[in-house]
Amino acid sequence: MGEKKTPYAIEIDHVFFSYGQRDVLQDIHLKISEGSFLALVGPNGSGKSTLIKCILGLLTLQKGSIKLFGQSIKKFHEWNQIGFVSQKANSFNSGFPATVFEVVSMGLYGKIGLFRFLTKRHKEKVKEAIKQVGMEEYMNQNIGELSGGQQQRVFIARALVSEPRLLILDEPTVGVDAKSVQNFYNMLRKLNTEKKITLILVTHDVGAVTEYITDVACLNKCLHFHGDTHEFEEKQDEMMSTMYGHDVRVITHNHDHDHHDHFHDHDGSDLR
Amino acid sequence: MEILQQLTFLERGIAAGLIIGFICPLLGAFLLVRRITIISEALSHITLTGITAGIFLSQGFVFLSFLNPLYTGLFFSLIGSLLVEKLRQIYKNFQELAIPVILSAGIGLSAILISLVNTSYSEWYSYLFGSIVTVSLNDLLFIIITGLLAFLMIVAFYKELLSISFDQEFAKVSGISIRRFNFFFSILIALVISMSMKVVGILLVGAMVTLPIAASIQIAKSFRQVIFWGIVFGEVSMIGGILFSYFFDIATGGMIVVTGIGLLLLTTIIKRSKEYVEHKLSGG
């Protein structure tokens, strides 16, 4: 019905969330424009995943409101417009007897409806999504036989097959080797610029993605920063130390070196 | 209906067996990927409680004497299945606990009821280990109707169940209601377990949903193949079991299971030797 025209894919207003006594999100305001490629950054336990789960409707809001494409999340039903690749995506049972084709088709299952099977058009869409992530050679391979990076691509294809306007990726590169990570980010940028898909990438490692993204949001219970990449680069040292509570370095990557020590927290362990 | 009436006792048994050999692996494939094949054990034992309750009622009350114990079996199986799901929600971190709880409750109640009713050893024997020669017209009708219902449910929910089994979170995000489908799935399991009972027996129902799938997963590359080969192996075990049991006059359920185990061994050997050959070829 009355879907308002808005330049924003997501409008988060005054959102609080706590697990029991533990406050995880405090008064979050965030507007994400359509067509942007946003990195959502923050240390472990900063509430990134919780915020994502609120956006996806996996958690019910305790306070505040979220609008998706101008429509209140309570009334939102077009979930096929939102693709999601979870942090846990490749911790599935690797013995699961399903081919790449079958896994990607699952992205359509929610909208096809009961008693119906994939039509020829659906199958074409599945193949197209697989091609988009460059996995067409592996169409009939068992998902468990692929490498971590390849599996991650398959899960992106599963999220893409319903032709979403918004794609949310929660730390998608955990367990993926450095070389594949670069290809992976290149692919995301292409989706953003060519297919005009709004992207939200949750990551520890903002240094690795600055050359691909358009905007950054820094979260640690509260939203510490939201702006475009240039603004972020100017303020990042100050930002990072307020957010992580101590001095951290952010190393911006070059394409050709692949060691990944960016943030170190107090006990010196790698935050990535 | 008339065609069914003309069937001999053996033909009735075979018809029932073929339906069960088809439906059980179909369900088994989903139980496998959800890692809950063991649930069939709990439900078969609670079905036994229902059967004994049915016999108890039909003996104790004249107006219930028409009661086919399969129906009470189904009723108890449904309740058991929903209880398992409930217990799995309560003990979120110890979900397997639901199985021994329901299983022992089922056996305990059965033991009490068995001691109260007056039935021959051979009748219990056919419930425990299955028998194709005692499949009555009424039983066959029960199997056809529950089988058809179970088949329709699987066809209707195939996509949703597969998506939930693979990745629950994603299924939820894509707009599938997990709770609703878990409820339907519980009903589905109860239907299949209680319909299979008459032919393969309470103690062996679990084998029918597990063995064909255990064999098919050895050779299948996709989920569809798991289902296809599962059904093939299910039917072969059924036909093989029925033939052996008829010609040698031994327990049908036992022979069906032994045939299933045979197929499992065979597929394992085929898989191993294939791997061995491939290894030799690539390794020089």
B223-241 pLDDT tens trace: 999 999 999 999 999 999 9
Give SS3 for A70: coil
Of B258, B148, B158, nearest in space to B204 by CA: B258
Confidence grade of residue A252 (pLDDT, cut at 50, 70, 90): low
Q: In this structure, are residues A31 and A259 in contact, taking their beta carbons and an 8 Å threshold?
A: no
B87 within a domain of the structure (yes/no) = yes
- Judged by CB atoms closer than 8 Å, whether chains meet at A102 and B162 is answered as yes
Q: Is there a contact between A240 and A45 (Cβ–Cβ < 8 Å)? A: no
Rounded to an integer, the average pLDDT of A243-264 is 51
Q: What are the φ and ψ backbone dihedral angles of B114, each rounded to 5 degrees?
A: -60, -40
- Higher-confidence residue of A264 and A44: namely A44
Its pTM stands at 0.85
ipTM value for the complex? 0.87
Rounded to an integer, the average pLDDT of A48-70 is: 91
Q: Residue A260 above 70 pLDDT?
A: no
Per the domain annotation, does B260 fall within a domain? Answer: no
Which pLDDT score is estimated for A272?
Answer: 35
Q: For residue B167, give the nearest of A50, A145, A91, A133 by alpha carbon.
A: A91
What pLDDT was estimated at residue B35?
87
User: Rounded CA gap, B34 and B28, in Å?
Assistant: 10
Tokens representing residue A159 in the block:
């999220």
* Relative orientation angle of helices B69-90 and B178-200, to the nearest 10 degrees: 140
CB contact under 8 A, B159 and A111: no
pLDDT tens for residues A30-50?
Answer: 999 999 999 998 888 888 889
Phi, psi dihedrals of residue A212, rounded to the nearest 5°: -105, -30
Long-range contacts of B160-164 (CB under 8 A, 24+ apart): B160/A109, B160/A114, B161/B30, B161/B185, B162/A98, B162/A102, B162/A106, B162/A109, B162/B30, B162/B33, B162/B223, B163/A106, B163/A109, B163/A110, B164/B34
What pLDDT is attached to residue B160?
A: 93
What's the pLDDT score for residue B229? Answer: 97
Is the minimum CB–CB distance between A139 and chain B shorter than 8 Å?
no
pLDDT above 90: residue A2: no
Number of domains into which chain B is organized? 1
Across A4-22, average pLDDT? 85
- What residue numbers bound the domain in which B20 lies? 7-201
Is residue B261 assigned to a domain? no
Fold of A8-244: Rossmann fold (3.40.50)
* Interface residue ranges in chain B relative to chain A, Cβ cutoff 8 Å: 33, 35, 155-160, 162-163, 166-167, 169-176, 217, 220-226
Is A84–B223 a contact, with Cβ atoms under 8 angstroms apart? no
Distance CA B169, CA B154 (A): 21
Q: How far is A97 from chain B (nearest CA, A)?
A: 5
Domain ranges (residues) in chain A: 8-244
Q: Each residue's pLDDT tens digit in chain B (284 positions)?
A: 678 888 888 899 899 999 999 999 999 999 999 988 899 999 999 999 999 999 899 888 878 878 889 999 999 999 999 999 999 989 988 888 999 999 999 999 999 998 888 777 778 888 888 888 888 999 999 999 999 999 999 999 999 999 999 998 889 888 888 989 999 999 999 999 999 988 888 888 899 999 999 999 999 999 999 999 999 999 999 999 988 888 888 878 889 999 999 999 999 999 999 889 988 888 75
Considering A75-79, A159-163, B264-268, the range whose residues carry the highest mean pLDDT is B264-268
How distant, in Å, are the alpha carbons of A142, A166, B65, B239 from that of B113?
49, 59, 17, 34
CATH of the domain at B166: 1.10.3470.10
Provide the β-strand partners of residue A168: A84, A200
Instruction: Please say if the pLDDT value at position A188 is more than 60.
Output: yes
Give chain A positions within 8 Å (CB) of B173: 56-58, 79, 82, 84
Q: Is B220–A97 a contact, with Cβ atoms under 8 angstroms apart? A: yes
Size of interface A-B (CB pairs under 8 A): 87
Cβ distance of B163 and A86 shorter than 8 Å = no
pLDDT, position A1 = 45
- Contact call for B166 and A56, based on CB within 8 A: no
Q: Render pLDDT for A80-118 as a digit per residue (tens, 0 to 9).
A: 889 999 876 666 777 899 999 999 999 998 878 777 888
Asked if B163 and A82 come within 8 Å (Cβ–Cβ), the reply is no
Q: Is residue B239 part of a domain?
A: no
Residue B244: what pLDDT?
A: 87
Q: Do B174 and A106 touch (CB under 8 A)?
A: yes
Average pLDDT over residues A161-180: 84
Q: Please indicate if any CB of chain B lies within 8 Å of the CB of A117.
A: yes
Distance of alpha carbon B172 from alpha carbon B175, whole angstroms: 5
Cβ-nearest to A58 among B159, B160, B169: B169
Q: Please report, for residues A51, A115, A153, B183, B210, the alpha-carbon distance to residue B170 in angstroms, rounded to integers and kept in the order given.
A: 16, 20, 15, 19, 27
Does the residue B84 lie in any domain? yes
Backbone angles phi, psi at A216, to 5 degrees: -130, 140
Chain Cα centroid distance, residue B195:
8
Element (H, E) at B111: helix B98-116
Q: Which two tokens stand for residue A244?
A: 């992580």
Give the Cα separation of B48 and B196 in Å (integer): 12
- With an 8 Å Cβ cutoff, are B174 and A79 in contact? yes
Q: What is the pLDDT of residue A246?
A: 54
What's the pLDDT at A258? 42
| Mutate: best of A104, A109, A160, partner B, most B CBs <10 A | A109
pLDDT tier at A254 (50, 70, 90 boundaries)? low
* Closest-approach residue (CA) in chain A for B171: A110
